[in-house]
Amino acid sequence: EAMILSTCNRVEIVARADDARKGLREVLAFLANDRGVDAGELDACTYHYLDREAARHLYRVAAGLDSMVLGEPQILGQLKDAYRDAEGAGTIGKKLSQLFQHTFSVAKKVRTDTEIGSSPVSVAYAAVTLAQQFFSDFRKHTALLVGAGVTIELVAKHLKRKEIGRLFVANRNLSRAHDLANQFGGFGLALSDLEGTLPEADLLISSTASPTAVVTLPQMEAAIKARRRKPIFAVDIAVPRDIEAEISKLNDVYLYTIDDLNKVVLEGQGSREEAAQDANRILDEEISRYLNMERAKQVAPLITALRENANSVRADILKQAQKRLAKGADGQEVLEYATAALMKKMLHNTSVKLRQAGENSETKIIAAARALFGLD
């Protein structure tokens, strides 16, 4: 059984083999052959985990504890996609299926029982988190994003998840503004139209590469006047600044800068690191629980055989007892016969083996019998 997980900065193969060491060599040979590199060279830049540590690593990956951004949730979705691809390719069997179902369950438990994902750890997330403290319901408000780079795209993605009412994207490249806005059901506009749209913005977030301010004090004063002093929440992520510093002095504008956001991000990273300690405790408990379940499954066939054998003995003695009753035997006498015969047959093999163990001084077998039958 095998599955490949490939993301922007991670390539991992999760596999099950009867011989783990042989399986590992085969995986490395596959990678080397597929990528056209020397197996020895590849061996020097790979890592591997076996058994318990392999399962624990998979749990950490799914919970975002092994990500560059601690606690990020995207990896779980990527892991589920990889699992579905492997399932569709027919390379997932019973064992890996059980492991992955438990992995997904553990990741959900970590998210639910810890604060690993609650604190902002990116500037884009921090900007939206700050805005959320200002607005009770994003659905009733309009956001104006200035710029069309990676940060603004992330901001738009977070706002979309928060169900922002209306979304405008302003950029010097109008085509880029339209493309980005369309991804999130918004409206694109040229930077030259910014002044006319500014009065509609309850939330303004700017991140451009402009060497000079793109939102000036007169523009903001005019916007506030047009809004009849309805406040604007503004976040300037750019370096150098996109929004003139004097705007922060206006009574109806709440302006935050990249410096404010960096403080939020650092606090968020600290909070997530604390939450990671709780998450690791959950992982330790869950890996022990999973391995206990797997070990228990190994003896399941033995338990089934034991029960089937006992039921066969019971059925045979029941049949004999019913014959005696049919011939008119006393009920009490039949009960005595049935229970004595059942005890004798059930304990016969065990008694023989224990006598042999005593003769051969096999103390482990004797101790096991004491434990199995609760005789300690």
Q: What is the pLDDT of residue 120?
A: 66
281-287 long-range contacts, CB within 8 A, separation 24+: 282/106, 282/109, 282/110, 282/113, 282/114, 283/56, 283/59, 283/60, 283/63, 283/65, 283/106, 283/110, 286/59, 286/102, 286/106, 286/109, 287/52, 287/55, 287/56, 287/59
CA 276 remoteness from chain centre: 13
| Active-site pick, 8, 44, 45, 326 | 8
What pLDDT does 68 receive?
67
Give the CA angle between residues 362, 366, 368 to the nearest 5°: 115
124-165 pLDDT, tens digit each? 888 898 898 889 899 999 999 999 998 899 999 999 999 999
**In tens digits, what is the pLDDT along the chain, a chain of 376 residues?**
999 998 867 889 999 999 988 998 899 999 999 989 988 888 888 899 999 999 999 999 999 888 766 787 778 989 999 999 999 999 999 999 999 999 999 999 998 888 887 766 778 888 898 898 889 899 999 999 999 998 899 999 999 999 999 999 999 999 999 999 999 999 999 999 999 999 999 999 999 999 999 999 999 999 999 999 899 999 999 989 999 999 999 999 999 998 888 787 777 778 888 888 888 899 999 998 888 888 888 888 888 888 999 999 999 999 999 999 999 999 999 999 999 999 999 899 989 999 998 999 999 999 998 888 888 7
8 belongs to the catalytic site: yes
**Parallel/antiparallel/unpaired status of strands 253-257 and 232-236:** parallel
* Tokens of residue 1, six digits: 């059984």
pLDDT at 64: 86
Q: What whole-number distance in Å separates Cα of residue 82 and Cα of residue 92?
A: 11
> Model confidence over 57-85: pLDDT tens digits?
999 999 988 876 678 777 898 999 999 99
